[in-house]
Structure 1
């Protein structure tokens, strides 16, 4: 039987459509994910300082709608489109956490469990509805909506958690070390402790946010706050360039395509 015959008879329904829209989880996936978290943190703060909180949130919300509309409309995974959506979600997720703390005055000790409860609710509804939380099982619009809702919740939760540990005395560098150690836990538990792949993935995914944000904040903030004093703009730009390089490589090599 020829491969042409196999291709013609392969199901052309939603499974092929959705599976091709999600990148493979490789080392590049985790590197870019951490980079987007840090870039989103400093970009959000930079925009809020330059434009003001309200215009910055409005701009971030508009960009979020446009990016996700493009992602939902796509018929296959496109590296540039997918990671642009992740970057925009990162920026807006940071704004959501900052609005609660800075704009409304909710302390991190309350916003962190709030976003944790929101993420838990999204994942619980997803699992109850679909029977799986695997990113490779996203073959309907509803699962895709659950996926992006969970991604947004992880960014908001990670922002609040990272700022919480920094405010409790660890500082940004200490928080980065803490989360670097924490992200190894699900990897080790999956490799040698029998933790299932889906739980390990989402656990690590949540931790990438405070890890990347803590590193970026440490690089950007002044010496009085324990940072390198490189500035929000330069850190945002340098991390953006790194993201573009990695995504460009994946777009050309297709190493993250099943």
Structure 2
């Protein structure tokens, strides 16, 4: 689901747009970020033995610092934006893990709660701004709504992905295929059934989280658990290197800043 139309960006847009264009590069980095969010959280929590509480505190502080940086910028900067997405992915994972492991909240409950929270954010966002398009992020208030929505999509995706792969015992690679198929259905609905670009974007955005998490778990988990046993450190390093390579490419070429669209 790339942008539907292309036209030269306005001066205001060029100065104030805080998000990238929705191109194939956007979706590639998004999936990479979601995978890192799953494996990096597990690496810090278990391998480095920071524990859920320690990992949550460290990553929460880092996310807050990067979001302050992001909010202070006047335009989209690939490195800062995608660093924020990576950290939101990790924190979103930790929120779900804390509720499940520390407080015993079931994955069914967390999935429903985060779905309701995300719906509430969308409702408040639309009531306030009359749009949910990511290409209208031109004010601080809209950017607040945007990052809240992103956070809840990651928390929801983590809960839903774990629910399907583990609680329903579908397995990691089958879950990845399932969520990839659902994303394909969204794309087809957008292309052939006139599903609006904005709901199509957010549906795909939500589904990429459990897709990436399932891929990360499949690569990192032990073979006895249905994985390939690459480990959380190895998997995180591979995907972080891939993210860095694509972000550097976009920073140099500005391929995700050349076109504008009303719909995302």
User: Do the two structures share a fold, i.e. TM-score over 0.5?
Assistant: yes
Encode CA deviations 1:70-116: one digit per residue, 9 max, x unaligned: 10001111110100000010010000110011111111111111110
CA distance, structure 2, for counterparts of residue 110 and residue 11 of structure 1:
46
SS of equivalent residue, structure 2 residue 171: helix
- Seen in structure 2, the aligned counterparts of structure 1 residues 174 and 126 have a Cα distance that, compared at 3 Å, is same
- Seen in structure 2, the aligned counterparts of structure 1 residues 256 and 16 have a Cα distance that, compared at 3 Å, is closer
TM (norm. structure 2) is: 0.91
CA distance, structure 2, for counterparts of residue 16 and residue 216 of structure 1:
35
Q: How does 1:68-79 map to 2 (within 5 A)?
A: 68-79=67-78
Higher relative contact order (CA 8 A, sep 6+): 2
CA distance, structure 2, for counterparts of residue 62 and residue 128 of structure 1:
31
Is 1:28–2:34 an aligned residue pair? no
Encode CA deviations 1:44-79: one digit per residue, 9 max, x unaligned: 111111211111000011011011001000111111
Partner of 1:229: 229
Partner of 1:5: none
Q: How does 1:11-90 map to 2 (within 5 A)?
A: 16-19=14-17, 21-49=18-46, 50=48, 51-90=50-89
Partner of 2:262: none
TM (norm. structure 1) is: 0.93
Is 1:101–2:93 an aligned residue pair? no
The structure richer in helix per residue is 1
CA distance, structure 1, for counterparts of residue 201 and residue 16 of structure 2:
19
Q: How does 1:129-168 map to 2 (within 5 A)?
A: 129-167=128-166, 168=168
CA distance, structure 2, for counterparts of residue 133 and residue 197 of structure 1:
10
Partner of 2:246: 246
Unpaired segments ≥5 residues, structure 1: 1-9
Partner of 1:112: 111
Name the Cα RMSD after superposition. 1.1
Partner of 1:3: none
User: Alpha-carbon deviation of 1:227?
Assistant: 0.5
SS of equivalent residue, structure 2 residue 229: coil
CA distance, structure 1, for counterparts of residue 109 and residue 51 of structure 2:
25
Unpaired segments ≥5 residues, structure 2: 1-9, 260-264
Partner of 1:185: 185
